Amino acid sequence: MRGASATSLETPQPAWDRTTVDNGLVKPQPGQVVTVFRNRLRPDADAYAEHSARMSALARAMPGYVEHKTFTAEDGERVTLVTFADRPSHDAWGRHPEHREAQRAGVRDYYQEYSISVGETDRASAWSRDRRERDAGG
């Protein structure tokens, strides 16, 4: 998104998940499940930040969690990308009781509108300028 600011909510990857590129970006892997959550907050969504922080901590503790990041466009639309290692991990997050309650609270208290798209990664690649220059001796 041109002109958008990013808020990184990711944490260091667990030892079992070696999916990072040298510069800290997560390297995508086939089979990962990515959720694209687009939304606009209501003007009176005062308690959203606290509730969102709790859900972020809970998501990071879930088995199979890879990362999530939220971006805010100039027009106020927010996009959160959430990645889990596989479908069972993703689905467990979707069924978590606190997450389900947060979804209900979102409709009731926070969101003006939202949409969700979920897909499995079929093909993935990553590239890093820092790694290329280091491998070339420069």
Collapsed DSSP state (helix, strand, coil) of residue 3 = coil
Q: Helices H, strands E: what count in the chain?
A: 4, 5
Q: Is 48 exposed, middle or buried (0-12, 13-18, 19+ CB in 10 A)?
A: middle
Token readout for 32 is 């990962």
Strand runs (DSSP E) across 24-110, as ranges?
33-41, 65-72, 78-84
pLDDT digits (tens, 9 = 90+) for 18-66: 455 556 677 899 999 999 999 999 999 999 999 999 999 999 999 999 9
pTM: 0.79
pLDDT band at 68 (very low <50, low <70, confident <90, very high): very high
- Residue pair 13/27 in contact (Cβ under 8 Å)? The answer is no
Residue 138, CA distances (Å) to 52, 121, 132, 134 in order: 42, 33, 9, 5
Does the structure show a pLDDT above 90 at 10? no
Residues 6+ apart with CB under 8 A from 113: 39, 40
**Whole-number pLDDT of residue 5:** 46
Supply 69's token pair.
């990041």
